[in-house]
Amino acid sequence: MKSMHLDQSHIKILTAQGCVSHNWNNVVFLDITDISRFRNVTFIGEVKVGDNRGTISVDGVECNCGIYNATIAQCTIGDNVRIANIGSAISNYTIKDNVVIEHVASMTADLNALCGNGVELDVVNEAGGRGTILFNELSAQTAYLQALLKHNSAFTTKLTSLIKKKITDTSTHASIGTHARIVHCGAIKNVTIGAYANIHGAQFLDNGTILSCKEHPTEVGEAVQARSFIITEGAKIDSGAIMDKVFVGQAVKMGKQFSAEDSMFFANCEGFHGEAVSLFAGPYTVTHHKSTLLIAGLFSFYNAGSGTNQSNHMYKLGPVHQGIFERGCKTGSFSYVLLESHIGAFSVVIGKHYTNINTPNLPFSYLHEGEGTSKCIPGMNLFSVGTVRDGEKWPKRDNRKAPVKRDLIIFDVFSPYTVEKMRRGRDGLLSLSESTPKEKAFVIYGGVEINRLLLKKGAKYYSMAIARYLNDKVCERIAEVLKSSGEWTNAMSSLKPVSQLKASNEWTDISGLITPRERLAVLEEKIASDVIKSVDEIIHEFQQMFDMYCADEWQYIYDTYKKEYNIDLASITKAQARTAIDAWQTSATSLHSMILEDSKREFGAFAKIGYGLDRSTDETEKDFIAVRGTSETNSVVQKLVKEVNEIKQRYEQFKNLIQ
Amino acid sequence: MKREEIAERVIKTTARELKLQPSEIKESDQFAMELGADSLKSIELVAAFEEEFDLTVVEEEALKVQSVGSAIDFFDSIINKK
């Protein structure tokens, strides 16, 4: 088959079928193109059409390919494409094979349209200053570089120029990828739509890119209004979502009238009903409820209760506030946090807080409100069954199916990042405990009130978790090296870390990617000094950090073990190894038992309130069991029970191994 | 230490922490259901008992204690090594 210009016989047939063109010489078909499959088509400018002899499914009905009731201006149209009932026109698009465009008000593009690339978002701080540029390759990590490292102007300038270069180098004509479906939509302007995307019922889409792939098609559904955006593979946006200057990461779900402005959502985020403004939603940020406003903050692995809100009431210099909620935080229903605040990882916020909270070194804490005061129970979330459940569910709920996962995620709840914060928290609490007289009921730390009695208690919880983590990893590694090299001294000498970090205790969380701070500093320096010359190289560097995590984590453990127990693991003795497994068993059993007790409370007397309505005690019990089950039948509780036995088994196995 | 003294100190500590009068507290009272000690308050209560009796408890065992009477028995067993 080959391209052909139309002759008079073709033009006569087309004209009879209601088709017009100012210049038929600009209309090019293939020699196999079925001329009968053009009805009421106005051709403007150069238009190329491929093989249209096939059929294609539209809303479950097999329809002929071809062009019907449409104005087509300056377009290249591939094979097996059906275009029908276009309100005004399709202009300046390259439409690839096997595409359906039907009942769309308009689809127009400017010749130099960047389709959302280059738009700058004001994330984290509503008043600006943390401008982050949208581009097709954006990830949680490249966004973090842009938004959070503004202190380094040389770096920021270079990074911005690399991103702008990437945009310029990769910008192409607006296009529709193969197998895309665009049906029943309003106006679409300057929007590139990727392969296999399913766009149906969107109200308007303006200045954006919808990246999609066969492995994980992207869906934009009913009544969506989106302006200045990039949506990536496997995202599903529907049911009246409103977006203005937004990045949507892989496998993100958004809908039910959720509205977002100047916001970015990375892998597996979910946004329904509520509102987001200047939000940096790292991986797994979830908000499902009406009246929930997430504003001007950095979040990840976060769950928002209904009515959650943050703000700066004073509003003296405008909305200049920003908040940091480190990974794993939860905010309870109608919780309020005054910004600026910095909440430690895996903390739970309950109630309204009118003080600026600064507790990054008190991870796993409960921040609650009592008598109008912000109070903190350090480390209490360490033995919440919810923390265990969250840690297990995130990797299982990684819904990304695209071949390339943009965001690099270390899922570990206990990592050098959180463990080092606990070490600092423990030391800080013990120091406060020693310096606080018994007459004082509480101390103020990081803006919150801590009951004096809980200073030691919190330190104890942290100590237990630190001991569990370090001894767990050490025993695991000893078992590994013993299996591969049975002789004790040689095996232990292989425990020396391969990483050569200068400060193995300084870590950072690059929105999902946990890495030593010095690796990030090296990347910063490489970008600032032109050693790195492209965005692709930056992405490669992040991948290397990700790949080095286990080795880096081991160096942290190795060095920290020496600090905590004064033991050099490369020359650890059998007796010390036995002490390590004892310490692990003690801390693991203790924390596990506390978690188990916490889970059983979910089946206690309070949990049964409201069950068996107007019925006897016996019927209340039966109603509760019918709906909620019992701790004996609950899968989470039973898993915890099973794990208690696994701790015992592992303990015995390790003891036998080092005999 | 006699059980009576332990009981008196448990009740006194409970009253102080939960802002109640000692006379309002009975051994049969459940900390959660009758005295309003939620899970957050339970942690503070355990810490307060530890300070009162100048000892450290096994956390997971302490959190199993549901009533004032069982708290008295719990500390009686530790203090008097029963």
> In this structure, what token pair is assigned to residue B22?
């000692």
Please say which residue of A71, A88, A108 terminates a domain: A108
| Distance from the B42 Cα atom to the nearest Cα atom in chain A, whole angstroms | 11
* Residue A428 domain flag: no
Whether residue A598 lies within 8 A of chain B, CB to CB, comes out as: yes
Judged by CB atoms within 8 Å, which residues 288-327 of A form the interface with B? none
Q: Do B43 and A456 touch (CB under 8 A)?
A: no
In this structure, whether the domain defined by B3-79 belongs to CATH 1.10.3720.10 is answered with: no
Please say which residue of A108, A140, A162 terminates a domain: A108
Domain boundaries, chain B: 3-79
Q: Which domain holds residue A598?
A: 575-657
Burial letters A605-630, b for 16+ CB under 10 A, else e = eeebeebbeeeeeeebeebbeeeeee
Tell me the C-alpha distance between A349 and A54, whole Å: 59
Tell me the C-alpha distance between A37 and A238, whole Å: 33
Q: Do B59 and A368 touch (CB under 8 A)?
A: no
Segments of chain A scoring below 70 in pLDDT: 313-315
**What's the length of chain B?**
82
Question: For residue A605, what pLDDT is reported?
Answer: 82
Query: Among A95, A92, A145, A106, which residue's Cα sits nearest to residue A123?
Result: A145
pLDDT mean over B31-43: 88
* Residue of chain B whose alpha carbon sits nearest to that of A602: B39
DSSP H stretches of helix in A213-333: none
* Best to test chain B binding among A371, A375, A387, A453 (most B CBs inside 10 Å): A453
ipTM over the 0.85 cut-off: yes
DSSP state, A364? T
| Distance from the A590 Cα atom to the nearest Cα atom in chain B, whole angstroms | 6
Whether residue A608 lies within 8 A of chain B, CB to CB, comes out as: no
* Residue A522 domain flag: no
What is the distance of C-alpha A35 from the center of its chain?
Answer: 49
Torsion of the alpha carbons at A385, A386, A392 and A393, rounded to the nearest 10: 150
- Catalogue the long-range contacts made by A80-83 (C-beta closer than 8 Å, 24 or more residues apart): A80/A50, A80/A51, A80/A52, A80/A54, A80/A56, A81/A49, A81/A50, A81/A52, A81/A56, A82/A56, A82/A58
* Residue A183 domain flag: no
Tell me the C-alpha distance between A94 and A107, whole Å: 11
Q: Which residues of B form the catalytic set?
A: 38
Tell me the C-alpha distance between A223 and A200, whole Å: 9
* Best to test chain A binding among B45, B54, B60 (most A CBs inside 10 Å): B60
Tell me the C-alpha distance between B25 and B23, whole Å: 5
Domains in chain A: how many in total?
2
* Residue A584 domain flag: yes
Quote the strand ranges of A346-424, DSSP E.
348-349, 352-353, 358-359, 366-370, 373-377
Please say which residue of A108, A133, A151 terminates a domain: A108
Question: For residue A358, what pLDDT is reported?
Answer: 98
pLDDT at B82 over 70: no
Strands A100-108 and A242-248: unpaired
Assign B64 a pLDDT band (cuts: 50, 70, 90).
Answer: confident
Amino acid letter for position A509: D
* Best to test chain B binding among A364, A456, A457, A598 (most B CBs inside 10 Å): A457
* Residue A238 domain flag: no
- Catalogue the long-range contacts made by B12-19 (C-beta closer than 8 Å, 24 or more residues apart): B12/B52, B13/B45, B13/B48, B13/B49, B13/B52, B14/B45, B14/B68, B14/B71, B16/B48, B17/B41, B17/B44, B17/B45, B17/B48, B18/B45
Under DSSP, is residue A121 helix (H, G, I), strand (E, B) or coil?
strand
> Cβ contacts (< 8 Å) between B54 and chain A: which residues?
none
Question: For residue B63, what pLDDT is reported?
Answer: 82
| Distance from the B4 Cα atom to the nearest Cα atom in chain A, whole angstroms | 25
* Residue A170 domain flag: no
pLDDT tens sequence across A170-226: 988 899 999 999 999 999 999 999 999 999 999 999 999 999 999 999 999 999 999
Bridge partners, residue A5, by sequence = A28
| Distance from the A625 Cα atom to the nearest Cα atom in chain B, whole angstroms | 20
* Residue A116 domain flag: no
Mean of the per-residue pLDDT values of chain B: 92
Under DSSP, is residue A504 helix (H, G, I), strand (E, B) or coil?
coil
Identify which of B32, B39, B47 has the shortest CB distance to residue A453: B47
pLDDT at B19 over 80: yes
pLDDT tens sequence across A244-298: 999 999 999 999 999 999 999 999 999 999 999 999 999 999 999 998 999 999 9
